[in-house]
Structure 1
Amino acid sequence: MDDEHEETLLRSAALQNAESIRLARRRAELQTEATLREQASLLDLTHDTVFVRDMRDTVTYWNRAAAELYGWTREEALGRVSHRLMQTVFPAPLAEINAELLRSGRWEGELVHSKRDGTKVSVASRWVLQRDEHGKAVAVLETNNDITERKRSEADLLHKTALLGELFEGGPDAMVLSSLDERVLRVNREFTALFGYSAEEALGRHLADLIVPADELERSLAARALAHSTPRRVAFDGVRRRKDGSRIQ
């Protein structure tokens, strides 16, 4: 009887211990779930799009900003392959990007995504790799910042710069672009034809030393001082000197 009683006590203790372990695990799971919900709630406050995908690129989390930018609700995005969903255009082969991500734990670059309505959006993208306690890669946190307007402005600026360059180079008058200290930065074709200097010869030279006769230097400096003191356009007549020493009125 004593042996049976002892066995019963041991069995009861084992069951109680197992139940305690189960309850402890459940409390830990509930705490983890609560922490994840709190973190997800915080991520919904950011203006950047944030989503999490597993190592097969399947979306497992999709914040409010992502829904607002791309047009898919959280329920619609979850379970979808992110790169297929948004038809991602990468700056390099995806295999190379993933290799860098696995090697360094992060990747940054510019991507082009398609919204639900088909419009394109340029984003500055940052990827961070998440590993488990054993060091195994389990997920990727991707944060995207919409830079579409910035890219459009940059393209517009490049276009205008190119247009101004064409107007400068093809202008009918001799023109020179100089720094604030009067060093030559650029001359056009008419300048080289009129004064006899090649663009390479003129580059970096002081404008007064290049084309102003010695007896006109004081008058030229006074005129330029006036031009620098007012936002208005200032025009003045003067004598200039060619490379061969001949003068131009």
Structure 2
Amino acid sequence: MQQTAENFVDRFAPTSLMDALHDEVVITDARGTIVATNRAWRAFCADNGGNQQDFYVGTNYFEICRAASGTSSAGAGTIADAFERVLETGQTFRHEYPCDSPEVKRWFEMTASRLSEAGSAYLLVQHRDITARYVQADDVEQAFINSSALAALVASTSDAILSYDLEGRITTWNRAAQRLYGYSAEEVVGQSLEMLYPPNWPHPIAYYRDEIIAGRLSNFEATRVAKDGTEHEVWISCAPIRGASGEIVAISNIHRDVTEIRKAEKARELIAREVIHRAKNMLTIVSAIQRQTARSERDFDGFNRKFEERIHSLARSTDLLVAGEWTTVPLGELVLRHLEPFAERNDSRIEVTGPPIDLQPQSVQTIGMAIHELGTNSAKYGALTLPEGKIRVSWALEEGQDGRALQVRWHEQTEIKPDPQPERRRGFGSSVLTMLAPSMLDTASDYDIGPGQVRWSITVPGQHFVPRRDPG
């Protein structure tokens, strides 16, 4: 057979010609026995280890294919059948297949053709390494997948994504950017990104471009203006975009609208400040109650009793504020609540009248404390000690130099009973009505005790109340 193979090679496929081919080439007879190989085939067999003699002249290539095993050899048995069909029909067979080495993945293209010589059929099998083409195809496919995924992400994300060139001109603009700013892509592409800047914005587009390119800026917060003039607080993530040569050609931006988040943060900060302010006010009032009660009471039991009564009065105002979510309290309800400890709501001796007014928290505590002191004095010394006594609490809106104000009045008509300790009439209650209440509202008050009557009035500035329509 060796002689036959040599004769065949000499006559039909000169060794020098086969060795010049870059592809791996093997020639078999009609039974699959290898009769000739070229240098590339022998080098490939040597490079891939195993029993090299299995692929040399004299071995049966068909049997080797049918016996092949392993992941990259799947289907090799059917290749031998295809070879036999080529020998039988003369139709060329072409096939691409993986043939991995221990280190790398590889792909080959196999072409099998029939040769005829002196009435005998031979099989010419040519193997070509096409790994580079497969890798390139995979790279292209992966690039397409990545590009499609990125395009889908940019199109569907809720964040505004845009880019601009090194001159600051907008080059890309996604749907979320259109929703956020109100401009279509046709309106903004080619325009300067500064069209979104509010007037007198401190930094030009060139500042951001240079900082981003230098690597000193990757995210920041800024105010940007929509087409309808609405200002948005946006958190901007930014990065340079490089071209195929590696040079920076543009800047990418992701704008996330944080307007509502910032508003909520400011609201929480304002509420926290207000809580602290109210707590300080409350402590100031409690401290004043403690000091004035201590001055007017001669013994510890008397101090405890008075101090507790006044703290309860303060709590009634606070309860009303809490019920109103610490916004406002109707003035009429405040007056009636503070007179409850001294008389029934339908007591004919008490008249409460005035337009619907809602008091702000500061005035709720102030007016409430004053009404409590006036009610306490009346129950001990004045109208509420007598069936014929009369109390009229009224208020009215008035125009003053500083705008609209609320005039609140207490008018008590009675035959004043003699006070066994007259100095107490000018104690804490008097301090509340003449000093503490007006100082808390930065205003003026008037307090007068005369024959058969008690008068007190205070002017509440406009910032401490809200006129409203009567729901009835």
TM-score by length of 1: 0.51
Instruction: Report the Cα offset of residue 132 of structure 1.
Output: 2.6
Instruction: Report the Cα offset of residue 106 of structure 1.
Output: 4.8
Matched to 1:45, the amino acid is S
Query: Is the CA contact 2:209–2:251 (under 8 Å) kept in the aligned structure 1?
Result: no
State the partner residue of 1:136.
247
Query: Is the CA contact 1:108–1:125 (under 8 Å) kept in the aligned structure 2?
Result: yes
* Structure-1 separation of matches of 2:209 and 2:146: 29
Query: Is the CA contact 1:70–1:115 (under 8 Å) kept in the aligned structure 2?
Result: yes
State the partner residue of 2:156.
45
Structure whose residues are more often strand by fraction:
2
Matched to 1:72, the amino acid is Y
Cα distance change on mapping 1:143 and 1:61 into 2, 3 Å: same
Percentage of identical aligned residues:
22
Matched to 1:80, the amino acid is Q
Match of 2:184 among 53, 73, 80: 73
Q: Does 1:93 align with 2:93?
A: no
Cα distance change on mapping 1:35 and 1:167 into 2, 3 Å: closer
Query: Is the CA contact 1:90–1:111 (under 8 Å) kept in the aligned structure 2?
Result: no
Q: Structure 1: where are the runs of 5+ without partners? A: 1-31, 176-189, 195-249
* Structure-1 separation of matches of 2:239 and 2:198: 18
How many residue pairs match? The answer is 150
Q: Does 1:119 align with 2:230?
A: yes
SS at match of 2:251: strand
Cα distance change on mapping 1:90 and 1:64 into 2, 3 Å: farther
- Which contiguous aligned blocks of 4+ residues in structure 1 show a shift greater than 6 angstroms? 32-35, 89-92
Instruction: Report the Cα offset of residue 63 of structure 1.
Output: 0.2
Of 157-166 and 138-147, the range deviating more from structure 2: 157-166
Cα distance change on mapping 1:55 and 1:33 into 2, 3 Å: farther
State the partner residue of 1:145.
256
Query: Is the CA contact 2:212–2:218 (under 8 Å) kept in the aligned structure 1?
Result: yes
State the partner residue of 2:281.
170
**Does 1 or 2 have the higher relative contact order (CA < 8 Å, sep 6+)?**
1
Q: Does 1:109 align with 2:214?
A: no
Cα distance change on mapping 1:156 and 1:90 into 2, 3 Å: farther
* Structure-1 separation of matches of 2:145 and 2:187: 23
Q: Structure 2: where are the runs of 5+ without partners? A: 1-142, 292-472
* Structure-2 separation of matches of 1:105 and 1:130: 15
* Structure-2 separation of matches of 1:130 and 1:169: 55
Decide which structure has the larger Cα Rg and report it.
Answer: 2
Matched to 1:87, the amino acid is Y
Cα distance change on mapping 1:118 and 1:109 into 2, 3 Å: same
Matched to 1:110, the amino acid is E
Match of 1:57 among 168, 175, 183: 168
SS at match of 1:138: strand
Instruction: Report the Cα offset of residue 137 of structure 1.
Output: 2.1
Matched to 2:197, the amino acid is Q
Instruction: Report the Cα offset of residue 93 of structure 1.
Output: 3.4
* Structure-2 separation of matches of 1:171 and 1:132: 66
* Structure-2 separation of matches of 1:116 and 1:169: 45
Deviation digits for residues 157-199 of structure 1 (CA, Å, limit 9, x no counterpart):
1111111111122224588xxxxxxxxxxxxxx49x98xxxxx
* Structure-2 separation of matches of 1:114 and 1:128: 22
Alignment RMSD: 3.4
SS at match of 1:80: coil
Instruction: Report the Cα offset of residue 47 of structure 1.
Output: 0.8
TM-score by length of 2: 0.28
Cα distance change on mapping 1:61 and 1:148 into 2, 3 Å: same
Match of 1:83 among 194, 201, 221: 194
